[in-house]
Amino acid sequence: MNTTENPWQTLNSSVKYENPWLSIRHEDVLTPAGTPGIYGVVSFKNKAVGVIPIDADGNTYLVGQYRYPLNEYSWEIPEGGSPLDTDPLDSARRELKEETGLEAQKWTKIARIHTSNSATDEEGFLYIAEDLVQGEHAPEETEKLHVWKLPLAEAVEMAMTSRITDALSVSGLLIVARLRGI
């Protein structure tokens, strides 16, 4: 059995909505059963990047902000978008500096993930940042951020108890917990 073969057939595809960050396609398809169907696909114009900064004392830094689509406040790891033609590590460095003011001397890529693969093609990359140096942060105009320094184990517990719900954050924190034996 070939599990990598695509059982879907695209009959027609058209962009129904587009802005600088994403596009939404409507596709007429034949399903794996051979029956007609439709699919909606959200294509992002950036990759997602997330950073788990860890200082010498075992603390990490979360960023809090109000998330418009959810209509709720969210604690997250520093994260953002990486243009498709840019190295995600370069974007991760930029996001960490913008959101927290931190710069790191040591970077470790820990994962490549898909954030919601039933509806979007978004690809995410997660990094650990260490050997941190504090500087000034410079959030974007769409961000009103609060930075919280806390023990890494406490942030992991927040992910485990759904006090952190962001997919990049939960994934990154749980991977770090496994790597560090937390």
User: pLDDT tens digits, residue range 28-50?
Assistant: 999 999 999 999 999 999 999 99
Q: pLDDT at position 95, please?
A: 96
What is the domain range of residue 33?
9-44
Residue 1, in any domain of the structure: no
- For the segment 86-137, what is each residue's pLDDT rounded down to a tens digit? 999 999 999 999 999 999 999 999 999 999 999 999 999 999 999 999 988 7
Tell me: do 162 and 74 sit in the same domain.
yes
Q: Indicate whether 117 belongs to any domain.
A: yes
Q: Within a domain: residue 176?
A: yes
Q: Residue 143: its pLDDT value, please? A: 67
Count of CA atoms in the C-beta half-sphere (13 A) of 52: 28
Residue 62 has pLDDT above 70, yes or no: yes
**Residue 34 belongs to a domain:** yes
Give the model's pLDDT for residue 15. 97
CA angle 164, 23, 27 (to 5 degrees): 110
7-27 mean pLDDT = 96
The count of domains in the chain is 2
Whether residues 87 and 13 fall in one domain: no
Kindly state the tokens that stand for 105: 């001397």
In a domain, 142, yes or no: yes
Are 144 and 94 in a shared domain?
Answer: yes
The overall pTM is greater than 0.85: yes
CATH number at residue 117: 3.90.79.10
